[in-house]
């Protein structure tokens, strides 16, 4: 019987490393093991140091281990081909073309990736044999919860369509009956504790614990249990003599006690290593720490001879990309999950507001942590941040946005005199799960189009989901033919929508109005992910304007062998960042404490950008 293991957790906590370590251990034990990633910005290839891609691929040097990275674009084409194949045999080409156009929207891309994911829950085989273990390395928690909610939502949506118009936004209900049965099987399997285990990876810090508790509770509502924890990134006690690490070790001790109290589950503990986890030998060595409790750290390659990069940052060049230049400035903070985008966006927004600029800080990340970092409640309504003049904050809540979006579309249709039957069909379409994404996108466009602010700072979702959001305006011409705008009024609504989206596209492409800043820490995986995303944005006409290297160890505080080795490794990667990105680089130091609270944010902003100046005129 195949066992299914899901690795989940907040971005940047080490899900991929722990999932890959587990996969290697199981394969070495003789189990036929497949590891699949559902993260749009996959890092399996980076960890295993070989090309993988959108097919089941044998991992070189590890018998019994295969891997696959689900590619959203290819999954979409495969899904459409499967759904349309029987229709091409039964209907005229003109009708098939209409249905194909109906399947051009972003909801098809979402359900296609999900559909490919559920294929693996039907126990795939390789070389005629089933797998013993199937390990899912998931996207950061908010998107993983969305993925896991989809089986029930799509099954419901298809059933409702059968009773109504027979149409869904991913194709005719009759053509996707097999999908409905598959989704129902997926729900049953994920709820079966005898076959499926959910493992949360977290670090001993406030946001990671909070995210784990929230996500575990959401899974419980779906009838899915959390079975195990892996607490990663624990500083070795030997570093208590280091002035930088000593207070962080005390902080971690408090959070480890909190985890024990509030998350009483079987738990493995993983120390912070002096280097990265990648390559088969390193994965096997880390497995001895994780599974056998060995205390000795695996040896790391000697990087002590690598010189630090010599490229001083020009503060004026940085500020020129953050402050308004005769028009509203929009700053997007992007990057891999867990690299510190929220902290960077928060201290930047606080600093800009303190310069006198009317600043809106918002997040499109479903696992929003703005409120945790700011130390004030942040909701889906724009609120003034108490304690900082000129600063407002909000988060885009997909469910709340969907309710508002549906109500607006249906009210508009009623005012235009649409028939009750047409309203019913539209409402049926709007009840589809993909409406949440469309609504969140619509809310994003609304904020990006406003002129109430001098600066808008976006704390975005992890890279793959951010790229998807930013590509939506480019793809809107295809969607507009089949989404609700066309249902309401094809001429007037098309014109309004296209004009709004054209303005936003122009804004994102104009470096005088928009700055895309990639945040990363100086290690291989986040740098590679940021560079790939930067290149993809360039194909859309959007250029990267700034890069931030986070968690940089202050050289003067690297007083132990462990910290010196880690700083030498960082020097190597700081040089690589400087080489890959020909834009100003801002180094954010690792602090002895968490980056949270307005006082800490204000001090860090002044340290990086300069002291407060006289207020500008609003």
CB of 526 closer than 8 Å to CB of 339: yes
- Taking CA 402 as the corner, what is the angle to CA 400 and CA 405, rounded to the nearest 5 degrees? 115
Task: Report percent pLDDT > 90 for the chain.
Answer: 33
CB of 337 closer than 8 Å to CB of 343: no
pLDDT class of 402 with cuts at 50, 70, 90? confident
pLDDT class of 482 with cuts at 50, 70, 90? very low
- Taking CA 263 as the corner, what is the angle to CA 261 and CA 268, rounded to the nearest 5 degrees? 105
> Tokens for 297?
């750290």
Residue 358 is predicted with a pLDDT of 95
pLDDT class of 211 with cuts at 50, 70, 90? confident
Distance between CA atoms of residues 80 and 85, nearest Å: 8
Q: How many CB atoms sit inside 10 A of residue 322's CB?
A: 22
pLDDT class of 486 with cuts at 50, 70, 90? very low
Which one is predicted more confidently, 433 or 533?
533
Domains, the chain, ordered by start: 3-292 (3.40.50.300), 315-393+451-609 (3.40.50.300)
Q: What is the pLDDT of residues 448-464, one digit of tens each?
A: 777 889 999 988 764 44
DSSP state of 321: T
Distances (CA, A) of 209 to 174, 200, 215, 368: 44, 10, 10, 14
Which one is predicted more confidently, 101 or 316?
316
Q: Max alpha carbon distance in the chain (Å)? A: 76
**Average pLDDT over the chain, rounded to whole?**
79
Average pLDDT on 276-282 reads 90
Q: What is the pLDDT of residues 28-72, one digit of tens each?
A: 999 999 999 876 666 788 899 999 988 899 999 999 999 998 877
Q: What is the pLDDT of residues 282-317, one digit of tens each?
A: 999 999 999 988 765 554 455 454 455 555 578 889
DSSP state of 325: S
Least confident of 210-214, 215-219, 466-470, 487-491: 487-491
- Which residues have a catalytic role annotated? 12, 14-17, 39, 525
Task: Provide the H-helix boundaries in 489-597.
Answer: 490-509, 524-539, 561-580
Q: Shortest CA distance to 339 belongs to which of 152, 595, 74?
A: 595
Residue 192 is predicted with a pLDDT of 87
Does residue 489 register a pLDDT over 60? no
Q: What is the pLDDT of residues 236-252, one digit of tens each?
A: 999 999 989 999 999 99
Average pLDDT on 211-227 reads 84
Q: Shortest CA distance to 20 belongs to which of 76, 69, 55, 71?
A: 69
Residues facing residue 329 across a β-bridge: 455
DSSP state of 138: P
Q: What is the pLDDT of residues 355-380, one digit of tens each?
A: 999 999 988 765 567 788 888 888 88
CB of 458 closer than 8 Å to CB of 364: yes
Residue 247 is predicted with a pLDDT of 95
> Tokens for 37?
């990633």
Residue 232 is predicted with a pLDDT of 95
Q: What is the pLDDT of residues 536-595, one digit of tens each?
A: 888 888 899 999 999 999 998 998 988 999 999 999 999 999 999 989 999 999 999 889
> Tokens for 210?
């909070």
């Amino acid at each position: 019987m195949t066992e299914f293991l899901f690795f989940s957790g907040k971005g940047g906590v080490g899900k991929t490393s722990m999932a890959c370590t587990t996969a290697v251990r199981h394969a070495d034990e003789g189990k036929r093991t497949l590891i699949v990633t559902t993260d749009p910005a996959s890092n399996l290839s980076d960890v295993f140091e070989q090309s993988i891609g959108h097919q089941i691929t044998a991992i070189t040097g590890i018998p019994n281990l295969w891997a696959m990275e689900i590619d959203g674009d290819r999954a979409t084409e495969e899904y459409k081909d499967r759904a349309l194949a029987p229709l091409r045999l039964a209907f005229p080409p003109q009708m098939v073309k209409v249905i194909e156009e109906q399947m051009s929207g972003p909801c098809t891309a979402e359900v296609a990736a999900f559909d490919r994911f559920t294929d693996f829950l039907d126990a795939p085989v390789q070389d005629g044999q089933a797998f013993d273990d199937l390990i899912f390395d998931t996207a950061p928690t908010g998107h993983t919860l969305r993925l896991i909610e989809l089986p029930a939502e799509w099954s419901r949506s298809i059933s409702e369509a059968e009773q109504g118009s027979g149409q869904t936004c991913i194709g005719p209900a009759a053509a996707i009956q097999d999908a409905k049965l598959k989704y129902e099987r997926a729900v049953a399997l994920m709820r079966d504790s005898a076959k499926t285990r959910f493992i949360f990876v977290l670090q001993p810090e406030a946001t990671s614990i909070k995210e784990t508790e929230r996500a575990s509770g959401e899974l419980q509502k779906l009838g899915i249990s959390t079975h195990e924890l892996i607490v990663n990134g624990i500083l070795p006690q030997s570093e208590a003599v280091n002035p930088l690490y000593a207070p962080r070790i005390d902080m971690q001790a408090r959070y480890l006690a909190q985890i024990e109290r509030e998350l009483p589950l079987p738990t493995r503990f993983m120390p912070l290593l002096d280097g990265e986890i990648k390559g088969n030998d390193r994965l096997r060595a880390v497995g001895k720490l994780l599974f056998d409790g060995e205390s000795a750290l695996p040896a790391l390659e000697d990087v002590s001879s690598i010189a630090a990069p010599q490229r001083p940052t020009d503060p004026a060049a940085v500020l020129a990309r953050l402050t308004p230049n005769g028009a509203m400035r929009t700053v997007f903070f992007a990057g891999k999950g867990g690299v510190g985008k929220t902290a960077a966006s928060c201290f930047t927004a606080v600093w800009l507001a303190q310069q006198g600029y009317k600043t809106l800080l918002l997040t499109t990340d479903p696992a929003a942590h703005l409120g945790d970092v700011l130390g004030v409640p942040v909701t889906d309504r724009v609120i003034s941040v108490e304690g900082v003049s000129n600063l407002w904050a909000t988060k885009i809540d997909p469910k709340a946005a969907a309710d508002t979006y549906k109500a607006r579309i249906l009210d508009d249709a009623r005012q235009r005199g649409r028939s009750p039957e047409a309203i019913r069909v539209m409402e049926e379409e709007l009840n589809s799960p993909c409406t949440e994404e469309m609504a969140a996108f619509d809310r994003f466009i609304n904020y990006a189009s406003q002129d109430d602010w001098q600066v808008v700072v976006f704390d975005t979702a992890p890279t793959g989901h951010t790229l998807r959001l930013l590509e939506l305006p480019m793809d809107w011409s295809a969607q507009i033919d089949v989404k609700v705008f066309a249902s309401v009024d094809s001429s007037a609504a098309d014109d309004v929508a296209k004009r709004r989206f054209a303005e936003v596209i122009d804004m994102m492409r104009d470096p005088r109005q928009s700055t895309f800043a990639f945040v990363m820490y100086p290690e291989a995986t986040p740098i590679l992910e940021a560079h790939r995303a930067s290149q993809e944005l360039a194909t859309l006409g959007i250029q990267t304007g700034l890069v931030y290297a986070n968690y940089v160890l202050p050289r003067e505080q690297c007083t132990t062998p462990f910290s010196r080795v880690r700083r030498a490794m960082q020097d190597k990667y700081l040089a690589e960042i400087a080489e890959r990105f020909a834009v100003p680089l801002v180094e954010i130091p690792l602090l002895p404490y968490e980056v949270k609270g307005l006082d800490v944010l204000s001090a860090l902003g002044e340290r990086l950008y300069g002291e407060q100046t006289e207020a500008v005129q609003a």
